[in-house]
Amino acid sequence: MKGLKPLFILIAAAVMAAVFLAGCTTPTPTPAPTATPTVPPAISPAPTPVVTDDKANIAFSYIQREYSQSYEGIPAGPGELIYAFDVTVDADKPIYTDGSWFTIEYRQNASAELKTYEPMTIIGYPSMTIGNGSGPAKGRLLLALKAPGEGATGPTPVYWKPLDRQEGPNKVYSKVYGVIRTS
């Protein structure tokens, strides 16, 4: 065992020297990964909504009457009613109006689809410019429809014309549903 003691001391000294040298050496520099900064895409502000100064607001009201037999000599068909709508339309900006602006939406019963009809007759509604101080346009729309069933919707008069068919600088951008009046 006497011969192992010096060997043991020599091994212990070598291990200590290795630990000592490892702690005292400066590490070799490793190149840091190079990162090229990524420039985010230019953020553009949200698009500014286009302000349309050509939008006309419409005041549309009507009185609805129903005739089951006839209207001024026009007979109602079997199972039909003749609807008369006394309409009044005005605007806050000048708009050219005529009878072609009107349609009537109607769903005969809960299982039927909503349909759009054109009036069969327009009485007294002028072709004119409204919204210029001349006063509202007034007239009567007539339409014969099958009598309503369970879950019917309408008939409801609508004032609107596709933009490409509107005349003049001011526009009506969406359908306008009339407000029922009593007188």
pLDDT digits (tens, 9 = 90+) for 77-133: 999 999 999 999 999 999 999 999 999 999 999 999 999 999 999 999 999 999 999
Q: What is the CATH number of the domain that holds 62?
A: 2.60.40
Q: Please tell me the pTM assigned to this model.
A: 0.69
CA 76 to chain centre: 39
Identify which of 144, 143, 158 has the alpha carbon closest to the alpha carbon of residue 89.
Answer: 158
Say which range, 18-27, 89-98, 174-183, has the weakest mean pLDDT: 18-27
Is the preceding peptide bond at 155 cis, omega within 30 degrees of 0?
A: yes
Quick check: is 17 in a domain? Answer: no
Quick check: is 51 in a domain? Answer: no
Q: What is the pLDDT of residues 132-157, one digit of tens each?
A: 999 999 999 999 999 998 999 999 99
pLDDT on residue 53: 85
Residue 135 is part of which domain span? Answer: 58-180
Mean pLDDT, range 21-36, rounded to an integer = 56
Percent of the chain with pLDDT over 70: 72
Quick check: is 4 in a domain? Answer: no
Q: What's the number of domains the chain is made of?
A: 1
Number of residues that this document lists for the chain: 183
Quick check: is 126 in a domain? Answer: yes
Identify which of 90, 91, 92, 87 has the alpha carbon closest to the alpha carbon of residue 104.
Answer: 87
